[in-house]
Structure 1
Amino acid sequence: MTPSTTPGTTVPTVAGERWSPALWGLLFVLAGNMLIDALEVSVALVALPSVSADLGLPVAQVQWVVSGFAVGFGGLLLFGSRLVALLGRRPVYLAALLVFAAASLAAGVVDSAVPLVGTRLVKGACAALTAPTGLAIILAVFPQGPARGRAVSVYSFFGAVGFSAGLLLSGLLTEASWRWAFAFPAPVVLLLFAAGLRLIPHDPPGRSTARRYGVPSALALTGATLMLVYAIVSVPGTGWENSRTIGAFVLAALLAAVYFRAELTAEKPLLSLGLLTQGPLVRSALGAAALNGSYLGLLLLSTLHLQRRAGWSSLETGLAFLPASVPLALTALHSGRVAARFGPARLIAAGAAAAPAGYLLYPRDAPSDVRYAVDVLPTMLFVGVAFVLAFAALHLQATGSVPAPRQAEASGLYQTAVQLGAALMIGLTAALYPSGYGPALGLVTAVGLFGFLVALYGLTRREPHAERDVDPDGRPRDETGRHRA
């Protein structure tokens, strides 16, 4: 297939059977950055004990290295979509790449918690700009049909591989210094930026003329999440009656109220709150937040267990987690077809059952003499099964139950819930950690069981769109049966 116009000047189109090198190059630039975004969380998780020891930070503070990225990502995701609509895909995407590279370099040289967490917030905000924009560029360049299906598959595959890649890279790089684990994306992203200057097309004329950026909503949502996580992790050290803790909870509530007021009164809100009445979408968002959040909570506890109590190296820890993430990467290209064949609701329920079953198998006493095949591997295998079954099905259910024009907005709500759920669970797990592994693992298991109950409720509901809105290739259809973008 060949582009009808020169990449970097306007949106190219595709025709024929063979792709040009420029078209493949564009796809790998976008997919490569998706991989970088996906590995940012796993890189930080494996490096946490080293960061904690080097900077002298307790778990309640060092957890911000992970949750800060999730807050920046989830809090600004809807705002990022609006920014792209107003300013254009190409300038926003390229600017975000440059800022991401600069934040990565800064993270490698800071020597205290506040600037390190600041770089993580910035990188999360950049991911909120590039992740949805990369997919939007693919949908603009590749027409509906086999070409778009192949491009989206490659893009999704790189995202699924990213988490596993982060576990390995962090394990290797942290052996030298945790700083390398945070700084290494910089040269990679700069290479992607250089290629993107040539390959990412300019936007066609006709962008949105509505000039509401939604800054108050974006800042209020991000601030509310930050204050809520801060209040949660402050409780073990200061108690519920401490004035700063109470003030943080109150401020979180006030900022949440500001967010909802701004959205309800805006002529063009970042999110149509009417979407919250869509049952399958809300259940998918809650289920995905529970699955992703409980998984990251488990990895936080297991990282601290294996490296602090059992004396494992960062590389050994990263390798130990691979059985939970590699299965998803290996099956990513086929997950949409499986969801279409068996139905998203059934797969979600099966996956949501596998996750807490795995959590229950993890030893509550966190022994120092770890028998990997007995103490860790069964849990990781169950979690791997959970993600293989439920990960794609959750997203397909979220977007397949709303009208075609609202699919992108539904996806934004879904992804926001995933990231903010992760931030809250990391904070809650870190807050319970001083009480022992047992209570913290109990929380992780309870959240996993909540996701299972949500999935079971979904099985009892008859959703008219859930089965027919996904074709055998895993692509959603509109009401007429045609494929959606």
Structure 2
Amino acid sequence: MSRTVAAAPRSAWTALAVLCAGQLMIILDGTIVNVALPAIQESLAFTPSSLAWVVNAYLIPFGGLLLLSGRLGDLLGRKHVFVTGLAVFTAASLLCGLADGPGTLLAARFLQGAGGAVASSVTLAMVVTLFTEPGQRARAIGVYSFVQSAGGTIGLLAGGVLTQAAGWHWIFFVNVPIGAATVTAAVRLLDGARGAGLSRTTDALGAVLVTAALTLAVCTIVEIPEYGWGSAHTGGLGGGAVLLLVAFAVRQRSAADPLLPPRMLRPHRVRGALGAHALMIAGMFGFQFLVVLYLQKVLGFDETQTGLGVVPVSLLIGLTSLTLAPRLMGRYGPRNVLLPALALIASGLALLGLVAPDGGYVTDVLPALLPLGAGFGLAMPALAGLAMSGAAPEDAGTASGLFNTVQQVGAALGLAVLSTLAASRTDGLLGHVADPAAALTGGYRLAFRVGAGLVVAALVVAAAALRPAARGRAAVSSARPEPSRSHG
């Protein structure tokens, strides 16, 4: 693919647009449903306890299949894996829109999550192998990071508008023409190079172990709000996930052709980037969920107003990730962009930790959204570049799947922690204050402050793990990769 890009760079940018269109559709679906949950519950007669599974049925297969799908992209060809996943996602979206009962919708959502995981697992790998020139690669990663970062926020706006204007079915139906067009364009425009191919030494046991471990881990995390942290259910499932992960790690050391080659995790910059990424996402992901609740339950916003209220985040993410991040990374290196970006995110969450029950959008929310959007737009391209910097061309799909797996697990864990803390704090305050809005706000404030603490922890990890060669070869390698390790 790199030869085609060198001869006709416009085709590379066209291919990038196709990849990002598919990725944006998948990312949007992770949040577009949230605003429509009340309408879905009323229409399909979901019970309050079962409604959460409209989200969980998507998250569990998505988190469980990312790493395996990334490796399959290396072995079978990334274009084939991307197209297959996108086709499954599109077909499942149609089934979601046609659902006439809870069981049908949940089954379709599970299939949608599986298709989304398969397609998105190889997207970042295809982006970094499309572009060999350092400046172009940095800009391409910026575009990808914008889609990753802003897609969830855009989904909140789209979900509110579609639900109010056309009904909840259309949050799924809208994927069908977009998905069909993207699949058609992908077949025509993406490179169809084959992968290394399956062999007798392919690590089938490792694939089973890690897929079962990640699926069980995500299932454990998303059910914590229902069962509690100290329950036998949480302990049993969580313990099973840990045992499976340990067995997977042992298997990777003995397998002839491991699913996750240990060499990929040896570079300290890769481990540091993945650790900081997990902590940042854990602290940041709850922001979307909790800000929506604050705007709706405390400030009285409707669905459309809520979506519009978070638009500044998307605009700033786009501005920084598409324009500032590539220039700053090329000049100062990813590490020196990442550290102040994490500080911006932490400051935004800390400001949200000061929201008041009688506050206003302009005075309480907007000032926090500005550093959040700018910081996230700078941090995501830097983290993506660092996480992919240690991957050889034949491992790029696995590295992409690993990066997305860390993001998905971090998001699920962060949301479980922050939402549980918010609910517990609110319940505790309800016995001492007469105003429900004050109790709700107290819970949200605690969760935002804990989120800020998690991002500060990400800053510490990044500063420590990326300290050696921060201004030298290792940190700059993601922006200025050596041809033998980064081209594909």
Query: Which bracket does the TM-score occupy, shorter chain normalised?
Result: 0.7 to 0.9
Give the drift of 1:394. Answer: 2.0
Once residues 105 and 237 of structure 2 are traced to their aligned partners in structure 1, the CA distance between those partners, rounded to angstroms, is 21
1:290 alignment partner, one of 248, 270, 279: 279
1:419 alignment partner, one of 404, 408, 411: 408
Once residues 301 and 345 of structure 1 are traced to their aligned partners in structure 2, the CA distance between those partners, rounded to angstroms, is 29
Instruction: State the partner residue of 2:345.
Output: 355
Give the drift of 1:191. Answer: 1.7
The AA in structure 2 aligned to 1:215 is A
Once residues 456 and 245 of structure 1 are traced to their aligned partners in structure 2, the CA distance between those partners, rounded to angstroms, is 29
Matched, 1:455 2:420: no
Contact 1:164–1:322 (Cα < 8 Å) also in 2:
yes
Contact 1:32–1:192 (Cα < 8 Å) also in 2:
yes
| Gap change, CA 1:24 and 1:466, over 3 Å in 2 | closer
Once residues 441 and 52 of structure 1 are traced to their aligned partners in structure 2, the CA distance between those partners, rounded to angstroms, is 28
Contact 1:160–1:332 (Cα < 8 Å) also in 2:
no
Once residues 73 and 252 of structure 2 are traced to their aligned partners in structure 1, the CA distance between those partners, rounded to angstroms, is 19
The AA in structure 2 aligned to 1:181 is I
Relative to structure 2, which stretch is displaced further, 168-177 or 304-313? Answer: 304-313
Once residues 313 and 223 of structure 2 are traced to their aligned partners in structure 1, the CA distance between those partners, rounded to angstroms, is 31
Contact 1:220–1:255 (Cα < 8 Å) also in 2:
yes
Instruction: State the partner residue of 1:175.
Output: 164
Instruction: State the partner residue of 1:468.
Output: 473
Contact 1:298–1:441 (Cα < 8 Å) also in 2:
no
1:13 alignment partner, one of 1, 4, 8: 4
| Gap change, CA 1:81 and 1:309, over 3 Å in 2 | same
The AA in structure 2 aligned to 1:13 is T
The AA in structure 2 aligned to 1:339 is M
1:227-280 Cα distance to aligned partner (Å, 9 max, x none): 4215522335xx845x54443344334443443344344332222346555433
Instruction: State the partner residue of 1:5.
Output: none
Contact 1:327–1:385 (Cα < 8 Å) also in 2:
yes
Contact 1:39–1:165 (Cα < 8 Å) also in 2:
yes
The AA in structure 1 aligned to 2:469 is P
Once residues 217 and 305 of structure 2 are traced to their aligned partners in structure 1, the CA distance between those partners, rounded to angstroms, is 33
Give the drift of 1:103. Answer: 1.4
The TM-score normalised by the length of structure 1 is: 0.81
Once residues 270 and 71 of structure 2 are traced to their aligned partners in structure 1, the CA distance between those partners, rounded to angstroms, is 21
Once residues 136 and 405 of structure 1 are traced to their aligned partners in structure 2, the CA distance between those partners, rounded to angstroms, is 10
Instruction: State the partner residue of 1:212.
Output: 203
Give SS of 1:178's match.
Answer: coil
Instruction: State the partner residue of 2:226.
Output: 234
Instruction: State the partner residue of 1:336.
Output: 326
The AA in structure 2 aligned to 1:463 is P
Contact 1:167–1:322 (Cα < 8 Å) also in 2:
no
Give the drift of 1:299. Answer: 1.5
1:399-436 Cα distance to aligned partner (Å, 9 max, x none): 34677876664444332211110111222333334322
Correspondence list, 1:138-157, <5 A:
144=133
Instruction: State the partner residue of 2:213.
Output: 221
Once residues 417 and 44 of structure 2 are traced to their aligned partners in structure 1, the CA distance between those partners, rounded to angstroms, is 22
Instruction: State the partner residue of 1:398.
Output: 387
Structure number with higher helix proportion: 2
| Gap change, CA 1:92 and 1:392, over 3 Å in 2 | closer
1:31 alignment partner, one of 14, 20, 29: 20
Matched, 1:91 2:104: no
Relative to structure 2, which stretch is displaced further, 115-124 or 49-58? Answer: 49-58
Correspondence list, 1:373-392, <5 A:
373-392=362-381
Relative to structure 2, which stretch is displaced further, 163-172 or 371-380? Answer: 163-172
Which structure 2 segments of 5+ residues have no match?
427-439
Matched, 1:187 2:191: no
Give the drift of 1:115. Answer: 4.9
Give the drift of 1:170. Answer: 1.5
Give the drift of 1:183. Answer: 3.1
Matched, 1:431 2:420: yes
Instruction: State the partner residue of 1:300.
Output: 289
Contact 2:138–2:330 (Cα < 8 Å) also in 1:
no
Once residues 64 and 286 of structure 1 are traced to their aligned partners in structure 2, the CA distance between those partners, rounded to angstroms, is 28
| Gap change, CA 1:120 and 1:34, over 3 Å in 2 | same
The AA in structure 1 aligned to 2:456 is F
Instruction: State the partner residue of 2:430.
Output: none
1:268-312 Cα distance to aligned partner (Å, 9 max, x none): 222234655543323322222222232221221222232244332
Contact 2:22–2:179 (Cα < 8 Å) also in 1:
yes
Give the drift of 1:33. Answer: 0.9
What is the identity percentage for the equivalent residue pairs of Structure 1 and Structure 2?
A: 29
Give the drift of 1:188. Answer: 0.8
Relative to structure 2, which stretch is displaced further, 316-325 or 115-124? Answer: 115-124
Once residues 151 and 276 of structure 1 are traced to their aligned partners in structure 2, the CA distance between those partners, rounded to angstroms, is 24
1:91-150 Cα distance to aligned partner (Å, 9 max, x none): 322221221012112222335556545444433332332234345455666665777677
2:186 alignment partner, one of 172, 189, 196: 196
Give SS of 1:340's match.
Answer: helix
Give SS of 1:108's match.
Answer: helix
Give SS of 1:41's match.
Answer: helix
Once residues 18 and 360 of structure 1 are traced to their aligned partners in structure 2, the CA distance between those partners, rounded to angstroms, is 43
Matched, 1:248 2:234: no
The AA in structure 2 aligned to 1:464 is A
Contact 2:345–2:455 (Cα < 8 Å) also in 1:
no
